[in-house]
Structure formats: C-alpha cells, structure tokens
Amino acid sequence: MEGWALYTERLGKDAGFYQDPYSDYGRLEADIWRAIRLVVDTGVHTQHWTRDQMVQYFHDHSAIDDTTVQSEVDRYIAWPGQALAYKIGQLKILELRERARKALGDKFDIKAFHDEVLDSGAIPLDVLEGRIDAWITSQKPTAQ
C-alpha cells in the first residue's frame, strides 16, 4: 500500500518535462537519497548496523547535513522496512502500468489507470494487482 508518492515523482520524467540532465537534477538527487535510505534501512534491520554505522553511511554517500542525517537514522530505526516498502510499491505500480499499457495498447489511458490505482485508497499491493488486472479486462473490447 506504499509507493504512490515515489511513483508520482517519476511522472514528470515520463511526461518529458526534463529536457536535459540539468533540469532532471532534483529528481535524480532524490533518487540517490532514496538509494541511501534503502541501504540504511536494510542495513540496520538485516545486518544489525549500529546507529553510528548508519550515520557514517549517510555521510560517506551524501552531502546531507548532520541534523537531517540524525533524523533520518532515527526514522529508519523506529520504522523498519519503510524505505523498502515505498520502493517496492513504486516498482509494483510501474509494473502494473506497463502490464496495462501492453495489454490495452492504444486504448491505454494513463489518467484512467491512475484513477483505478487511487480509487480504493491504501490497499495491499496484491489486492491492487488484482484490481488492476480486473480493470485491464474490463477495458478490453468484447468480442462480438
């Protein structure tokens, strides 16, 4: 049920709003930030990193100020798997969009797809997948 926000951050790129690497810099920087979060989140909960190791990883791989680093580290200690859940959600929505696009071809409407994703609010990803599969079926023309 996570990932919508990460998914939407990519829509500007998908729509062609970024014409060169300079205009895309902020989105790319956010992707790097999220990659660091994924490493730290999994590091603390699967590798049993210490708080100091988490802080050091942030400092080694970013120019983020120490106050923000401390806050982020505390967030991932207190909320296991959050960064991973967001990324998995984003990837699932992208997968479902591509599935719908391939299945529907020219009939694919990204706005209708987004409406379907958002229609039921926060739901587990397997439930969302079932809803999107049913939506794809409902969008296909019936044989006469």
Query: What pLDDT does 1 receive?
Result: 61
Question: At which residue do the structure tokens 């990460």 appear?
Answer: 6
User: How far is Cα 112 from Cα 2, in angstroms, rounded to an integer?
Assistant: 20
Contact criterion met (CB below 8 Å) for 96 and 4: no
What's this model's pTM, rounded to 2 decimal places?
0.85
| Nearest to 7, CA basis, from 100, 101, 88, 84 | 88
Residue 47: other Cβ atoms inside 10 A: 9
Contact criterion met (CB below 8 Å) for 134 and 99: no
pLDDT tens column, 67-118: 999 999 999 999 888 889 999 999 999 999 999 999 999 999 999 999 999 9
Is the per-residue pLDDT at 30 higher than 90?
Answer: no
Residue 123: other Cβ atoms inside 10 A: 14
Amino acid of residue 17:
F
Query: What pLDDT does 96 receive?
Result: 98
Query: What pLDDT does 29 receive?
Result: 87
Flag the least confident range among 8-12, 60-64, 127-131, 139-143: 139-143
Q: What percent of the chain has pLDDT over 90?
A: 65
In this prediction, residue 23 has a pLDDT band, given cuts at 50, 70 and 90, of confident
